[in-house]
Chain A
Amino acid sequence: MPLGGVLFITIFVIIFGCFLLFVASKLGKRSYDPVKQQTYECGIPAQEKKDTKISVKFYLTAILFIVFDIEIIFMYPWATTFRDFISSGQGLFVLISMMAFILVFIFGLFWEVKSKALDWE
């Protein structure tokens, strides 16, 4: 795996982006105005940020994402080796064990749908 290449292009892109931002910030004219610095708030004076209500749904989605993402990641090594297992005669065994795993997956998904954890309003 070309780790050096990955690191090189990452660092290059970061330097490239920073350079562009730096050049752009130097070229533009600057004038200070307190109103300009205010955050966008549809034309009315900006309100306190504290009272933003954010639905816990977002966070719930992230939790479910973690769980299902790992289950999907577990399928990847199975998917690459399944052909080898078939040709070595263990295909049925591996297929059944994976189907048991997927059954648990389906059960979890079904439960989440049933419990309305995935509904948005």
Chain B
Amino acid sequence: MSPDVFLFWFLAILTVISGLMVVLMTNPVFSALSLAMTMVLIGALFVTLNATFLAGVQLIVYAGAVMVLFVMVLMLFDLKNEIYAFTRGKISGAFKVGSVGILAGLVIGSIGLTASTLLQSSTAPLVSMSGDTTKDLGKILFSQYLLGFEALGALLLIVAVGAVALARSKGGTHAK
């Protein structure tokens, strides 16, 4: 077993476990922490796919910013283990789990059936991407996708204004 393959399996198993913990933990703070771990592991998986810059961005944006916000809000509310953490009603719960399972089966089955024809070659990339894709990413972002980039700038402005307005609604700045 080569190191790369070992790394993939190691990361994949850890990712699935921590992903399941997000859903199964009854304490929301633990859910948030395991989601942060999932994000870090997905960043590591990005590295195995040669997207090193994106892996760094994943760490900074998701693990370092978005999840910090989630954890902070949970601590602010100080939510204890919930009595009704999961959906009530056995039938509807079983129905939901079943539908999710069917979806998983369909997707994985279709991937398995088409694995042979997927991209013709499924183990080696068609065009070998050089080790450093960061500069190419910058070039493509600032030529072909410039409009989307500027639009995202405007979106972020709107989010900054809107989120602050929402958070400060009802006049006061302190939680009651």
Which residues of chain A have a CB within 8 Å of any CB of chain B? 1, 3-4, 6-7, 49-50, 52-60, 62-71, 73-74, 76-78, 80-81, 84-85, 90, 94, 97-98, 100-101, 104-105, 107-108, 111-112, 115, 117
Contact = CB atoms under 8 A, between A and B. Distances in A.
B48 interface: yes
B68 interface: yes
Contact of B175 (A53, A107, A117): A53
Which DSSP category, helix, strand, loop or mixed, fits chain B's interface? helix
A7 B64 CA distance: 18
Contact of A74 (B69, B76, B149, B173): B149
Contact of B65 (A54, A69, A77, A107): A69
B138 A104 contact: no
Contacts of B163: 63, 67
B167 A107 contact: no
Contacts, number: 132
A1 B164 contact: no
Interface in B24-48: 44, 47-48
Contacts of A49: 78
B138 A71 contact: no
A81 B164 contact: no
Nearest to B77: A54
Contacts of B107: none
Interface of B: 3, 7, 10, 44, 47-48, 52-53, 55, 57, 60-61, 64-66, 68-69, 72-73, 76, 78, 134-135, 137-139, 141-143, 146, 149-150, 152-154, 156-157, 159-161, 163-164, 167-168, 173-175
Which DSSP category, helix, strand, loop or mixed, fits chain A's interface? helix
B174 A53 contact: yes
A103 B76 CA distance: 34
Given A63-B163, A65-B69, A78-B141, 20 more contacts: A7-B44, A49-B78, A56-B76, A56-B173, A60-B164, A62-B69, A62-B72, A63-B167, A66-B61, A68-B160, A69-B60, A74-B149, A74-B152, A77-B138, A84-B139, A90-B143, A100-B150, A104-B153, A104-B154, A105-B157
